[in-house]
Amino acid sequence: MSPDFLNFIETVLNGLMTGVMYSLVALGFVLIFKASGIFNFAQGVMALFAALTLVGLQTGQVPFAHLINAVLGTDVHHWGPGLPTVLAILVTMLVMIALAFLIEKVVLKHLVNQEPIILFMATIGLAYFLEGTGDLMWGADVKALDVGLPSGGSFWWEDVTRNWAPAGSDYFGMYIDTLDVSAAIIAVVLVVALTLFSQYTATGRALRAVADDHQAALSVGISLRSIWVIVWSIAGFVALVAGIMWGAKSGVQFSLSLIALKALPVLILGGFTSIPGAIVGGLIIGVGEKLAEAYVGPLVGGAVENWFAYMVALAFLLFRPQGLYGEKIIERI
């Protein structure tokens, strides 16, 4: 194999890894959209919030320290050495469940019969609120997140691939981050777990019933509100996983919530209601974006990644507005 071709493969592989991350965020969107028809713009910020909370608990930060100090004139910052990682993750999960409960109670309950676009804008407001709250609670500085996953380039893979190039050529093997590999594995496990959950548990069946037809589900005695809390909790869990992965990779910081924006084109490709769609869409966008950056980027000054996904979504929308896996809509009047 020629080095050029090997470089191409490396780009595709890296794209796939990034794509897995997009898929993870998109998955949270799809879950909520299926169960409640809400396009949850705050999914990315939920990931940020989860990651911030996790780091705060791990390192033993005092929540709202900054605010407390400003108001009371004290100087608190840490309450101790922090929780062990596993415990911190559990507590963060509890926080995300509490958050789901609050969101249902304070926001969704009051917007039940509103139009989708109003709900969409409400979740934009929610995103801002969560972002401000997260910053107030834990501070806005960039934080390192380490949950003990391996990271850094894989030397084994580099050695294996170096031999694929013809002898004597100037090729040093492929670079693959082991963190990306674990992220991919975790994502696969997560999707399998979610599928099993929705197929084989009573709650899962209720979820699917609600996704299919709200009215019908209500009439057979499924409580819509508790379903919403459950769905938002699951989405919170997915956000936590995404937050851990992204946070471990590039630090916990605001840009994390921008990933949510990248998940939007993923959803357009995959359709808003399809879990396989979210996965495939994420991979397509991830690979496409890396390839565009590698092969088109140098011609136009780089940073093509910033808009590539959106342009793909735009072009795609013009030809297939219902997404890869969506059903064709027949309009009635």
Partner 1 sequence: MNQHIDPGSLRADDGIEKGGMLLHVDNISLSFGGVKAISDVSFDIKKGEIRAIIGPNGAGKTSMLNVINGFYHPQEGTITFRGEKRRRMKPHAAASQGIARTFQNIALFKGMTTLDNIMTGRMTLMHGNLLTQALWVGPAQREELAHRETVEKIIDFLEIEHIRKTPVGRLPYGLQKRVELGRALAADPALLLLDEPMAGMNLEEKEDMSRFVLDVNQQFGTTVALIEHDMGVVMDLSDRVVVLDYGRKIGDGTPDEVRNNQNVIDAYLGVSHD
Partner 2 sequence: MLYRETGDFKSSYAADQQTFPIRSERYLFWGAMVIAFLVVPFFINDYWEKSVLVPLLVWSMAALGLNILTGYCGQVSLGTGGFMAVGAYACYKLMTAFPDLNIFIVVILSGGVTAFVGMLFGLPSLRIKGFYLAVATLAAQFFLVWLFNKVPWFYNYSASGQITAPERTIFGIAVTGASAPPWATYLFCLTLVFLFAWIARNLTRGTLGRSWMAIRDMDIAAEIIGVQPLKAKISAFAVSSFYIGVAGALYFSVWLGAVEPTEAFGINVSFLVLFMVIIGGLGSILGSFLGAAFLTLMPVLLKNVMVGGLGWPTDLAAHFEIMLVGGLIVFFLIVEPHGLAQLWRLAKEKLRLWPFPY
Nearer to partner 1, 117 or 328 (CB): 328
Nearer to partner 1, 221 or 328 (CB): 328
Query: How far apart are alpha carbons 89 and 247 in whole angstroms?
Result: 13
Minimum gap (Å) between residue 194 Cβ and partner 2 = 23
Nearer to partner 1, 299 or 330 (CB): 330
The answer to whether 232 and 123 are in contact (CB under 8 A) is: no
The answer to whether 31 and 211 are in contact (CB under 8 A) is: no
Minimum gap (Å) between residue 271 Cβ and partner 1 = 17
Residue 217, token pair as written in the block: 């589900």
Residue 181, token pair as written in the block: 């590999």
Please spell the DSSP secondary structure of 57-74, one letter per residue.
HHHTBPTTHHHHHHHH--
328 near partner 1, judged by CB under 8 A: yes
The site partner of 75 among partner 1, partner 2, none (C-beta below 5 to 8 Å per kind) is: none
Nearer to partner 1, 71 or 333 (CB): 333
For tokens 């170096």, name the residue.
162
330 near partner 1, judged by CB under 8 A: yes
Query: How far apart are alpha carbons 33 and 35 in whole angstroms?
Result: 6
3-state secondary structure of 113: coil
The site partner of 329 among partner 1, partner 2, none (C-beta below 5 to 8 Å per kind) is: none
Closest CA to 24 of 285, 216, 221: 285
71 near partner 1, judged by CB under 8 A: no
Binding mask 75-114 for partner 1 (x = CB under 8 A): ----------------------------------------
The site partner of 131 among partner 2, partner 1, none (C-beta below 5 to 8 Å per kind) is: partner 2
Residue 153, token pair as written in the block: 């380039």
Binding mask 271-310 for partner 1 (x = CB under 8 A): ----------------------------------------
- Choose one: 59-67, 73-81, 99-107, 325-333; the region binding partner 1 (CB under 8 A): 325-333
The answer to whether 151 and 178 are in contact (CB under 8 A) is: yes
Please spell the DSSP secondary structure of 190-258, one letter per residue.
HHHHHHHHHHHSHHHHHHHHHHH-HHHHHHTT--HHHHHHHHHHHHHHHHHHHHHHHHHHH-BSTHHHH
Residues that bind partner 2 (CB under 8 A): 39, 66-67, 70-71, 106-107, 110-111, 114, 116-118, 120-122, 124-133, 135-136, 140, 258, 261, 264-265, 267-268, 300-304, 306-307, 310-311, 313-314, 317-318, 321, 331, 333
The site partner of 140 among partner 1, partner 2, none (C-beta below 5 to 8 Å per kind) is: partner 2
The site partner of 133 among partner 2, partner 1, none (C-beta below 5 to 8 Å per kind) is: partner 2
Phi, psi of 111 (to 5 degrees): -120, 20
The site partner of 126 among partner 2, partner 1, none (C-beta below 5 to 8 Å per kind) is: partner 2
Phi, psi of 73 (to 5 degrees): 75, 15
Residues that bind partner 1 (CB under 8 A): 328, 330, 333
